[in-house]
Amino acid sequence: MDDIILQLNDVSTHFPIHSGFVRKRHVGTVKAVDGVTLAVRRGEVLGLVGESGCGKSTLARTIMQLVPTTGGTVVLNGKNLSECSATEMLAVRRGMQMVFQDPYASLNPRMTVYATLAEPLLVHGVCPPAEVPARVANLMKTVGLAPRFMQKYPHEFSGGQRQRIAIARALALEPKIIIADEPVSALDVSIQAQILNLLAQLCRKMNLSLIFIAHDLSVVKHISDRVAVMYLGKIIELGPALDVIDRPRHPYTRALVSAIPTPNPDVERTRQRIVLAGDPPSPINPPAGCAFHPRCPYAEEKCKLAVPPLVADGPTREVACVRLGEI
């Protein structure tokens, strides 16, 4: 139960905004990730959802240490990443890998599949050079690609196959955790299902943890054990996937769930949809108090006063809303 592989404690990532050409002045801060506390267990699939600009991708990059952390700690496998030296980081990075959204942009067009997959093996010295070809062939088989395509270039593959190559590259170092940033949103429905199956199957077989970032709630519901909903840099609801999506508690999650179109004409025509007014606010100038209050149908005076903390709601769920008991 307490086999926690990744622990985030009050993690913040802020970006300063500068203005002026000669004399740079600090004019503001984008709080892309603001006080996120989260734990991922071994073998668990955590879905991370939210609208664009809510900080899901920045959170992923913060965990990967691709952007500097402003505050808080990221602990992977008992190791605090912000205190690691460069050599330690190299070893740590073997334990976590990333799959990106666009398989057209994330693979080097001038490298063959073999070169792409052999590179991490050679850089990290995972195995003797003589064993590399066999390892690459194995990786390709794991993700459902025939090893005979080894000498082909990315442009010779379809989107779904490219995403398989990207997944194989992430698996090459036998990581403990994979962060997949919208891995299926660039793919067609029929191909999406193939990649989702592959990811789910890999997690089960290799006891891999997965942070699955997406904006499509139906996809997240299917693949995740737990779901975290983000709004403007903060987690506002966290809990088991089925609970959160079938019985959302936070007004924002409710609106998000009700906005998903269902492929069922009778349901679609009769149900009440909560249509939120306006766009998500800017993270440069977040509203005072609860960041959601300007769009929230239940907002009151007290919502504008203080930022609601993420509090337990039952044994497995956490919600950040001050009016939780009243609505």
Non-local CB neighbours of 92 within 8 Å, separated by 6+ positions: 76, 77, 79, 81, 84
* Apex 124 CA angle, 118 and 129, nearest 5: 50
Find the part of the chain contacting another protein (CB under 8 A) among 61-69, 170-178, 197-205, 317-325: 197-205
> Is 260 a binder of another protein (CB under 8 A)?
yes
Of the pair 83, 279, the CB lying nearest another protein is at 279
- The verdict on 241 binding another protein (CB under 8 A) reads yes
Tokens for 42?
């071994």
Range 210-239, binding another protein (CB under 8 A): 215-219, 221-223
The distance of closest approach from Cβ of residue 96 to another protein in the complex, given in angstroms and rounded to an integer, is 25
At closest approach, how far in Å is the CB of 261 from another protein?
Answer: 3
| Contact letters for another protein, residues 150-189 (x by CB under 8 A) | --------x-x---------------------------xx
Q: Which stretch binds another protein (CB under 8 A): 6-14, 33-41, 94-102, 192-200?
A: 192-200
Q: Which one of 6-14, 24-32, 257-265, 284-292 is the stretch in contact with another protein (CB under 8 A)?
A: 257-265
Contact call for residue 51 and another protein (CB under 8 A): yes
Tell me which residue of 188, 203, 168, 195 sits closest to 43, measured CA to CA: 203
Contacts of residue 225, Cβ cutoff 8 Å, sequence gap at least 6: 44, 45, 46, 240, 241
- Are 165 and 153 within 8 A, CB to CB? no
249 part of the interface to another protein, by CB under 8 A: no
Strand partners, 119: none
Is residue 264 involved in binding another protein (CB under 8 A)? yes
83 near another protein, rule: CB under 8 A: no
80 belongs to the binding site for another protein (CB under 8 A) = no
What is the Cα–Cα distance from 257 to 107, expressed in whole angstroms? 33
Binding residues for another protein, per CB under 8 A? 51-52, 158, 160, 188-194, 196-197, 200-201, 215-219, 221-223, 241-242, 255-256, 258-266, 268-269, 273, 275-277, 279-280
